[in-house]
Amino acid sequence: MTKRILVFILKLAVIGLVLLTLFIGSVYLGVFGHIYSKKELKDFRNHSASLVLSDNGSIIGRYFFENRTNVKLEQLPEGLIEALVATEDARYFEHEGVDSRSLLRVLVKSIILQQKSAGGGSTITQQLAKNMFGRQNIGWFSMPVNKTKEIILAGRIEELYSKEEILALYLNTVPFGENVFGIEAAARRYFNKSAARLKTEESAVLIGMLKANTYYNPRLYPEHSINRRNVVLEQMEKYEYLDKTETDSLQSLPLELDYANLESEGPANYFLVHIRQEAQEILEKINENREEPLDLNKSGLIIETSLSLELQTYALNAIKNHLSRMQAKLDQQYRSGQSKRNLYALVDREIENNNFGERAQEIRPREIFTWEGFRNDSISLRDSIAHSLRTLQAGFIALDPNDGEVKAWIGGNDYRTQPYDQVFAQRQTASAFKPILYASALEQGAMPCQYLDNDPIVLTDFDGWQPQNYDHSTGGKYSIAGALSRSMNIPTVNLFFRQDFDELSEIWTALGYSQELEYEPAVALGTTSASLFEMSRAYASFANGGIAVEPRMIRRIRTADGQVLYQDEKMKETRRILAASTSELLSAMLQKAILEGTGRSMSGTYGVRLPLAGKTGTSQDYADSWFLAYSPNLVLASRVGAPYPSVHFNSGSNGSGSALALPIVARTLQDVQRSSSLKKRFFPAFEALPEDYDYVMACADYIDDSEIERMLESVFSSDMTTFEKASKKAKRKARKKEKKGFFNRLFKRNKD
C-alpha cells in the first residue's frame, strides 16, 4: 500500500514537473504574450519627463507621459541605496536575478501554510522587469504567467547589466504615487530637492513608499509614512548599514516635507502652456530630419526659457498681497444692497444659460478659492457662482524690450481652477491707450509743449457725447506733456481731432493690435479692446526707440546629454514703427507721468525710485484697471478685473488703475530694488534727451484763461508762439539727423 502511494506521488511529481516545464517553456516561447529579448532589453529606454528651466537653470515645470527624470547611480546618496537593498532585497549582491531562498519561503508560507504575512519574493531585478514592461491581465492565470516572465527577464537583465546599472534602472522606473515615477521626480515632489541631496531619513520615507504608494504617502498619511520609515531604518540597522544609536536618532525625527507639485501649483503654469505649444512646433520641424522622433512627454528634453524666476516670484507675491486686501473690499461691497442684487441677477442669468435648474440651490461641500488657500465649504451652486464672479483676476507680464524675451508671465490666480489666461483677455484699454494716440501726434509733428484746449466739448456729430475729465475740471489749456502725464480726457479728445486718423490707425496696427480701430472720438479715451500681451508689446516699442518687438520665450532645447537641438536667434532684422525721436519724447512724457502725474504714488506711496516711464488706465465704471511701466530694459504690465465687466468697484479710490493695478507693479519693484542683480540688469537710467530737445519739456502743464490772454498779448507772433517756433526748429534738426522725414517714413515703412 505504501509503495503504491509512493509510486502515485512520484507520478504526480513527474506530471507536475512536465506540466511546469511545458508551462515555463510556453511562457519562454511567447505563447502567453511577447517576452522581451536581450536586444530589446539592451535598447530599453525609460520615458523621461522634459524639464523646463528658468533663465538661471531652476526647474519651473515638466512635461511628461509619466513624471520621470532619470539620474545616474553616482548621483544618488549612499544612504538611499542602502535603504533600498536592506528593505527590498537584502541578498541583492549575492543572487543572479532570482533569490531562491526568498522564493521558497514565499511558496511555503503563502501557498502551503496560507500565511498572509509571507512577504514578497521578488528581487529588485524582478521588480525592475515589472516596472519596465508592466504586467498582462489574462484572468486567473495572470499571476503565474507574469511571475514566470519576470523571472526569465530578471535572468536576462542580470546577464546584460551590472548590479549598479540595475539599481539605477530600478530607481528610475519605480512608481511613487501621484503619477510620479523615479527617485529624482519623487525627491523633488515630496522634499523639493534633487535625489542627490536626500538625507538618510528622507530616503527611508521614499523607499518605504514602495510597499504601497498611497497608504504610505507622506502628504496624505503622515503617521503611516513615519511608521514605515522607521521600519526601513530598522532594516538598515539589521543589515548593519546603521548602528543602534543612529537608528534611534533618525527614528525620533519628525516628518518634514517640502511638497512641491509643479504640475498644479508651480510658479509659472500659465507660462508653461505657451512653452509647450511653442516647443511642440519646434519639435515638429526637428523631427522632419530624424529617424527616431522626439516626444516632448517622453524624451527627457531640457527646455531653457527666458523667464526670470526671481522676478516671477516677486510678481506672484505682489499679486497675492495686494489682491487679498482688495478682494476683501470688493466682497464687502457685494455683501448687501444694490451691488448684491446686481451680482445675483448676473448669477441667475448664468444659471439659466447653463440649464442648472434646481441643482443651483443644492448645498454640498465645494472647493472655494481664497488667497489663503483653497477651503471646502458647504454652499449652494448659486453662491459658488457668485463667489467666482466677484473674484478679482490679475494678469501680469514682463519682457525685455530690446530682444522681446519674456521675463515674467502670470495669467491668473490659480491655473488648476481658472485656466483662462488673463494675459490674452481682450478688455477696454482705457487711458492706457493714450500713449499710442500721443505717439501718433508726435509722429505728425506735434511737440510736448504745444497746448490743448480744456474747455467743455459737446460733440453733436457723435450723439452729443461730452467727454469729461476724471476730476470733472474744465477751462484753460494743458500742454501735450501735461495732458498725457495727468491723463486729461478733454485735451486728449481735442488732440484726436487735430491729427490724421489714418496715421493713428496705421501705427495701432503696426504695433501688433488685433482689434480694428474705428473712427470715433471715444477711441481717444481707450474704448477699443486689447490684451495685456498686445499692450506690453506696444510699450516695448516705446522703450526701445520705436522698433517692433515679438515676445520670445524659449532660448534653447537640448537633450539630457547636452546635444543642442534648437538655439534661438536674437533679433537680427528690425522693423521700425516710430521715429527714434518720437520714442524719446514719449518716454520723457511718460517719465513725467510717473514722477508728477497719475503714477506718482509709485515713489510717494511705495518708495520705488527706479528709472520708470508709465501709464495708468481705468475703464468705464472701473471695470478694468491697467498699469504699464517700463525702463530701457524691462516692460512691466498689469491688469485687474472681475470675470465680467459688470462686476466692479463703485469708486475710483479702489477701482482706478492707480489703486488696483499700479500697486502690483509697485510691490514687485520694491523687491527688485532690494535685488542688486535685477536692479542693475533691468533698470539703467534713461538716456537724456538730445541737445536739440533741451527745452521741449520746459513748459507749464496747465495755463489758466488769464495766462492765456497775457500770452496772446505778449508772446504770440503770427499764429505761433516763440517757444513753439523754437520747438519746431529743434524737431526739424533732430529729424534731419535721423535722415528720414515723415513722408519718407510713411511711404517706406513696409520696407524697414
Q: Do 90 and 112 share a domain, yes or no?
A: yes
The answer to whether residue 561 scores a pLDDT higher than 70 is yes
Residue 691 is predicted with a pLDDT of: 80
Is residue 192 situated within a structural domain? no
Residue 219 is predicted with a pLDDT of: 86
Mean pLDDT in residue range 305-316:
97
pLDDT: which is higher, 719 or 497 = 497
Mean pLDDT in residue range 736-744:
40
Q: Do 341 and 481 share a domain, yes or no?
A: no
Cβ(529)–Cβ(423) under 8 Å?
no
Helix (H) or strand (E) holding 81: helix 78-88
Range scoring the smallest mean pLDDT among 13-27, 230-244, 472-486, 667-681: 13-27
Q: Which three cell numbers stand for residue 130?
A: 515589472
pLDDT: which is higher, 592 or 569 = 592
Domain count, the chain: 3
User: Given pLDDT bands bounded at 50, 70 and 90, which one contains residue 748?
Assistant: very low
User: Given pLDDT bands bounded at 50, 70 and 90, which one contains residue 91?
Assistant: confident
pLDDT: which is higher, 362 or 111 = 362
- Alpha carbon distance 107, 105 (integer Å): 5
Is residue 518 situated within a structural domain? yes
Farthest-apart Cα atoms in the chain, separation: 142
Mean pLDDT in residue range 701-712:
74
Which phi-psi region, left, alpha or beta, contains residue 260 (left: φ > 0; alpha: ψ -120 to 50)?
A: beta
pLDDT tens for residues 185-226?
899 889 988 899 999 999 999 999 999 998 999 988 999 999
Q: Do 520 and 476 share a domain, yes or no?
A: yes
Mean pLDDT in residue range 648-662:
97
- Alpha carbon distance 92, 86 (integer Å): 9
Mean pLDDT in residue range 225-236:
96
The answer to whether residue 109 scores a pLDDT higher than 50 is no
Cβ(257)–Cβ(188) under 8 Å?
no
Residue 428 is predicted with a pLDDT of: 97
Q: Do 350 and 406 share a domain, yes or no?
A: no
Of 140, 174, 208, which marks where a domain is finished?
174
Mean pLDDT in residue range 396-400:
98
Q: What angle do CA 676, 680, 684 make, to 5 degrees?
A: 145
Q: What does residue 261 show for φ and ψ, rounded to 5 degrees?
A: -95, 90
Is residue 140 situated within a structural domain? yes
Range scoring the smallest mean pLDDT among 30-34, 78-82, 678-682: 30-34
The answer to whether residue 746 scores a pLDDT higher than 60 is no
Mean pLDDT in residue range 138-162:
68
Q: Do 372 and 411 share a domain, yes or no?
A: no
Mean pLDDT in residue range 572-588:
91
Residue 658 is predicted with a pLDDT of: 97
Of 379, 402, 430, which marks where a domain is finished?
379
Q: Do 546 and 412 share a domain, yes or no?
A: yes
Is residue 168 situated within a structural domain? yes
The answer to whether residue 719 scores a pLDDT higher than 60 is no
Give DSSP secondary structure letters for 677-698: HHHHHH-PPPPPPPGGGTTTT-
Residue 70 is predicted with a pLDDT of: 78
Mean pLDDT in residue range 384-404:
96
Q: Do 517 and 552 share a domain, yes or no?
A: yes
Mean pLDDT in residue range 323-347:
96
CATH of residue 133's domain is 1.10.3810.10
The answer to whether residue 44 scores a pLDDT higher than 70 is no
pLDDT: which is higher, 325 or 46 = 325
CATH of residue 400's domain is 3.40.710.10
pLDDT: which is higher, 178 or 673 = 673
Q: What is the 3-state secondary structure (H, E, C) of 467-535?
A: CCCCCCCCCCEEEHHHHHHCCCHHHHHHHHHCCCHHHHHHHHHHCCCCCCCCCCHHHHHCCCEECHHHH
Q: Do 20 and 141 share a domain, yes or no?
A: yes
Q: Do 135 and 35 share a domain, yes or no?
A: yes
Of 317, 345, 379, which marks where a domain is finished?
379
Matching residue, cell 528651466 = 53
- Alpha carbon distance 155, 144 (integer Å): 17
Share of the chain above pLDDT 70, in %: 81
Q: Do 375 and 521 share a domain, yes or no?
A: no
**Owning domain of residue 342:** 336-379
Range scoring the smallest mean pLDDT among 287-291, 302-306, 465-469, 653-657: 287-291
Is residue 152 situated within a structural domain? yes
Q: Do 401 and 501 share a domain, yes or no?
A: yes
Residues 6+ apart with CB under 8 A from 450: 479, 480, 724, 727
Residue 613's SS3 state is strand
Residue 36 is predicted with a pLDDT of: 59
Share of the chain above pLDDT 90, in %: 60
Please give the mean pLDDT across all residues of the chain: 85
Is residue 672 situated within a structural domain? no
pLDDT: which is higher, 143 or 493 = 493
Torsion angle, alpha carbons of 740, 744, 749, 752, to 10: -50
Residue 68 is predicted with a pLDDT of: 67
pLDDT tens for residues 613-638?
999 999 999 999 999 999 999 999 99
Matching residue, cell 525627491 = 187
pLDDT: which is higher, 733 or 238 = 238
Q: Do 440 and 489 share a domain, yes or no?
A: yes
Matching residue, cell 529743434 = 730
Is residue 492 situated within a structural domain? yes
Is residue 99 situated within a structural domain? yes
